[in-house]
Amino acid sequence: MSSNQPLAERLRPKNLHDYIGQKHLVGENAVLRKMIESGNISSIILWGPPGVGKTTLAKIIANTLHRPFYVLSAINSGVKDVREVIDKAQKQQFFSSPNPILFIDEIHRFSKAQQDSLLGAVEQGIVTLIGATTENPSFEVISPLLSRCQVYVLKSLEAEDLMTLLNRALTEDTELSKKKITVDEHESLFRYSGGDARKLLNILEVVLNSEEGDEIVLNNEKVTNRLQENLSMYDKKGEMHYDVISAFIKSVRGSDPDAAVYYLARMLDGGEDIKFIARRLVILASEDVGLANPNALLLSQSTFDAVHKVGMPEARIILSECTIYLATSPKSNSAYEAIDSALAEVRNSGHQPVPLHLRNAPTKLMKELGYQKGYKYAHSYDGNFAEQDFLPEKLRSKRFYHPQNNPAEQKILERLKQWWKQRFTK
């Protein structure tokens, strides 16, 4: 096999026996393995982070079932391309022939129109769809298409899986097996890979290509130094996707507009999906700015809508404006903490009975049972407020929302103290 091929491609498994990881799906007696072994595969969506074997698994399924295999990338395929593949599949259909498999990489980047164009073919069984996505399909795949697919979640590779992959690369690869490579330490290799098989192999290749001779010793220091030297090339290929988005989020949360814009530029230069960035800004606005500046959510939502309509290159300006606004806004995670605290209480104490005076009473029987009795209609009282109990009886003393020390929430706290007196003085 040509050494011009990347290491990750040379080591791509051809069958389930060589496939590493995802034992919950393709291990012995696992659900997806049983489906493959039965010879009957339904349309599926493979959801998981990069480098965990989504594309490889799709190819293995096609090879194992001896199905024609068509591939489309959502980055550079349009409705016309989808229809051409469907036409080819229809022309190859015979009474006894199995459905071809249509694999769509990054299906979350398909527009609604592109996804709509798949519906008929999937529903009629012209093709069996296998979609791969790094984003939650509940948000990114249209409901009619999602309802026709089984969703399987792939996980980042564990240390045991990465070790298996590393040993296989050193002993079975046609090029690396010619050299005497000793791995004294593997922690840096695994840490920088982040459970991503392709990333691990790319790191290994970058490090080994910088070494001379056929006897090479790898350790943590050498891996770290080589990666620092090759970082710009590494990022440009999108391999540091999760590291850069993490740095972006932390920079906005940490109120550093310069760092936030820098990491935004890194993502844009690396070809990151602008919708992905805009979604993260919406989350940041609620999770980290929150009630300290409620306008942040409005601006981030407007940003999300605008980048959809405008697209690149102008979307970079919209994203920059929102990023700087969020980074320079006062911060509060009180809403985030409140809902997590409330969810923890629900899981801990169960679904407590709703107080009778808060229950709906649409029938005479319900009224006779005391439903809605004693309820105080707030607008009938001075200041549109009437003190009464709203939490279930066993939770009366619980507090979930704690206003934080910023001007906006201090005003909220004063208002709550005025209404609830002692309850918000603690």
99-123 confidence digits (pLDDT tens): 899 999 888 888 788 888 888 889 8
The pLDDT of residue 231 is 52
User: At residue 154, does pLDDT exceed 60?
Assistant: yes
> Read out DSSP for 25-94?
HHSTT-HHHHHHHHT----EEEE--TTSSHHHHHHHHHHHHT--EEEEETTT--HHHHHHHHHHHHHT--
26-61 confidence digits (pLDDT tens): 988 899 999 998 888 899 999 988 889 999 999 999
Same domain, yes or no, for 247 and 357?
Answer: no
Percentage above 90 pLDDT, the chain = 29
The pLDDT of residue 94 is 66
The pLDDT of residue 142 is 86
Domain that holds residue 178: 159-236
User: At residue 239, does pLDDT exceed 50?
Assistant: no
Same domain, yes or no, for 44 and 90?
Answer: yes
131 band by pLDDT with thresholds 50, 70 and 90: very high
User: At residue 240, does pLDDT exceed 70?
Assistant: no
Residues 6+ positions from 175 with CB-CB distance below 8 Å: 3, 7, 10
| Helix 197-209, helix 220-229: angle, nearest 10 | 90
The pLDDT of residue 233 is 43
Which of 221-225, 339-343, 421-425 has the least mean pLDDT? 421-425
CA 309: distance to chain centroid?
23
Count of the separate structural domains present in the chain: 4
Domain CATH code at residue 270:
1.20.272.10
User: At residue 286, does pLDDT exceed 90?
Assistant: yes
Give pTM, 2 decimals: 0.59
309-337 confidence digits (pLDDT tens): 888 888 899 999 999 999 999 899 999 99
Which DSSP category does 157 fall into? P
Q: Which two tokens stand for residue 137?
A: 């399909």
- What average pLDDT is seen over the chain? 86
Same domain, yes or no, for 105 and 188?
Answer: no
Q: Identify the sign of the CA torsion 313, 236, 188, 164.
A: positive
Same domain, yes or no, for 105 and 174?
Answer: no
Which of 236, 268, 288 delimits the end of a domain? 236
- Within-domain flag for 10: no
236 band by pLDDT with thresholds 50, 70 and 90: very low
Same domain, yes or no, for 279 and 380?
Answer: no
314 phi/psi in degrees, rounded to 5: -65, -25
Length reported for the chain:
426
Which of 236, 262, 293 delimits the end of a domain? 236
Please give the Cα distance from 43 to 407 (Å, whole number): 52
